[in-house]
Each structure stands twice: as structure tokens, then as C-alpha cells.
Structure 1
Amino acid sequence: MAWLYLHPEMSCSVTELARQFNVSQSTVSREADHLAAAGLVREERKGNLRLLRADLTNPLARPLTELLALTYGPAAVLADVLPPVDGVDEAFIYGSWAARYSGEAGPPPRDVDVLVVGDADEDDLADAARSAERQLGREVNIHRVSAAAWKSAGDDPFLASVRSRPSYPIVEPGERS
């Protein structure tokens, strides 16, 4: 259910979902039956192919999507993969995901933009991004800035833009020991 609601632009086959989560097709099919009966997913048949999609017309769709995004979405996944990386002083989701988290309307984001403050190794951040991408099924773009650059009130247009728009904290100052 989380995969379908966090990828509302996609229809997924039972076979694709079973492969994605390394479970049997019968397990996915049984769960899909329950979700369809509850009106949470829509089904479409194309020959032998059973396609599933989140039913966004259900009154529970918005609060359910918000709950699933917080528990299985970028915030949850990045909160697991970024804190272990040495040199991450702070980290934020910014861009379209942060805007959706803050309630701004718009289409589902295609990728996740992350700002890391600190001196973390670029290769370690790339590994964390790839790990998050595998779990989220979306591209994760990590941009690193030094603590000095983040704290300064300089005229970096990128940082000014990030500061002026919604952001969602992943690693907060002083959170790491």
C-alpha cells in the first residue's frame, strides 16, 4: 500500500510488486484484494495482467498518503541512511518533497532533493543516496555545503532559495554526538 500511495502516478502489476518486495505473487494478490475491497486501490485488467493503483478519490487518500510519506517516505528512509555518515552536521529535504510535506499542492515529486551541511565525504553521500533510491524508487539528489557556507548570510542564490522555501529536517544541529 505504501508503494502505491507514494507513487500515485504509477500503475503496478502484482508481479512487479512481488518482485520489488521479494514476496510471492499470491501474497501481493491477497493484500490487493483486501485493499480493493476497502476502496483504497483501483484495479485494472489488461489480459492476464492485474494493475494496481492508489485510489486517490477515496476520502482517506490524503491523510493516508501523509501518514505513509512520514513512515515510509523520504523522511523516514533518509533519517536511517544519513545519520551514520561521518561529517553530516545537518540535513534537510528541500524542493518539491518539502513543499508537499508542508502542505503545498502540486504533482507528486519525481525526485528527492537533500541538502547536507558539513564535510561528509562525497562518495559516502553518494552511497547513502543510492541506498535511499533503492528503497524509495525515486532519484535522490544530495547537495553538500560546508557549515561555514550554510551559516553565512552570503549571497549564494542557491542557499538563499533553499532558506526561503519549505524544508524538512532529517538531521538537526547537535543531533549527532
Structure 2
Amino acid sequence: MKQPPSVLLPLLRSPFQGELLAWLFLHPEEEYAQVDLARRFEVSPASVTREVDRLSAAGLLATRRAGNMRMIRADTDVPVARPLTELLALTYGPIAVLGERLAEVPGVEEAFIYGSWAARYSGEPGRVPNDVDVLVVGSADEDDLYDAARAAEGVLGREVNIRRLSREAWASPEGDPFLETVKTRPLVRLQMGEGQ
């Protein structure tokens, strides 16, 4: 199934292309098996093959064989690597960065991006958001969440606002105008850590 063009970064062919590039360029020291990338982004291995073939032909990705696996990483030796990384951090970076940062915080059960960034990611037209709003469900310490937000801001180049709430409040939003609104608007669930 063909994806619509990216709203977060209309220069890209698809949201998947933005997510893949952001993940690889924001983790430049890592290399990933093609099959693991398909699992991470919940796309077919054939979709990953097509995108990796295009991007490696353009000189943006480096690939190598390790047995029967194709390993992929960002090619950071190209002249466009630094500005591309900055652009990806500003657009698709929240997904590539926030889940990992929040997975390190004890008491975080699940997390979602909401607000204008989630709306753009979900395809609603509009300007690139100035900040990223994150909803954390669980009992995480506010100071730890603050530290995670500041660390993410350093990578993303934009403000990160985290709001924590209990599992009970998340499960029963009735009577809370904020939660009732959040649950009716686009939400982007964050994968908590690299392996998920």
C-alpha cells in the first residue's frame, strides 16, 4: 500500500522514509539488520529493501553483508550528513529519541506524543511544530522526567514538554477536559527502548 507524502517534512517521499532516516542518522554509531528495521517500523521487509536500495544508491546509507543478513547504517561521511541529521531531528526525531530516553526512567509505563506534532505526524496539514508534547503514564519521578526532557531537547533542537499522569487517570479520563481532548486527537505511542 502506497503511503501518503510526509506532512512533517514534505521533501520526503513518505513518513516511513522519514522515520527510517531519522532512526539511522540519530543513531549514527549503530548498524541494524534489515529484518530488525522492518520489525521496528512495522513494515514489510520488501518495503525496507526498496527504501534502503534508494537511499544507499543516493549515498545516504551504507550497507554490508554479515552472513545472510544485510546490515545498514547512516553514512555520516557524506557532506549532507550533518544538515540532514539536524533536519531529521527537528521533524522525525521525537520518535527516534523520546522512547529511548523515557525507557531509562523508572516508573514510565507508556508514553505518547500528543498535540501539534502528533497531528502533523498523523497527516494533518500545518506548520512544523515549535515543541513536542509528551504524555507519560505511570509513577515516574517528575525530576527524572524533567532530566529526560532536557536530554531529548539537546538532540531534537526544540522544547519537550512532559506531562505525567497515573494509570488510573489515563484509564478513566471522564471529567478531565484535558484528557478527554487528548484522547480524541491524534496520539503517537512511543516505543519504549530499542528492542520494541
Amino acid at match of 1:62: L
Aligned partner of 1:158 in structure 2 is 178
Equivalent residue for 1:128? 148
Is the counterpart of residue 62 in structure 1 residue 82 in structure 2? no
- The aligned residue for residue 169 of structure 1 is 189
Aligned match of 1:45: none
Secondary structure of residue in 2 paired with 1:62: coil
**2 CA distance for matches of 1:155 and 1:70?**
39
Q: What does 1:80-159 align with in structure 2 at a 5 Å threshold?
A: 80-159=100-179
Separation (CA, whole Å) in 2 of partners of 1:138 and 1:113: 11
Structure 2 CA distance for aligned equivalents of residues 83 and 118 of structure 1: 12
Task: Determine if contact 2:109/2:136 at 8 Å carries over to the other structure.
Answer: yes
CA–CA separation in structure 2 for the residues paired with 1:70 and 1:160: 32
Runs of 4+ in 1 over 4 A off after TM superposition: none
Q: Could you report, residue by residue, the CA deviation over 1:98-135 in whole angstroms, capped at 9, with x for unpaired residues? A: 11111110000000000000110000000000010000
Aligned to 2:94: 74
Give the count of matched residue pairs: 119
TM-score (norm 1): 0.60
Gaps of 5+ in 2: 1-7, 23-92
**Larger-gyration structure (1/2):** 1
CA contact (8 A) 2:111 2:137 kept: yes
Any idea what SS the aligned residue of 2:103 has?
coil
One-letter identity of the residue aligned with 1:124? D
Measure the CA separation in 1 of the matches of 2:111 and 2:141. 14
- Is the CA contact (8 Å cut-off) linking 1:129 and 1:141 kept in structure 2? yes
Question: Is the 8 Å Cα contact of residues 173 and 179 (structure 2) preserved in structure 1?
Answer: no
* Contact 1:89–1:171 (8 Å) recurs in 2: no
Equivalent in the alignment of 2:60: none
Fraction of identical pairs, as percent: 56
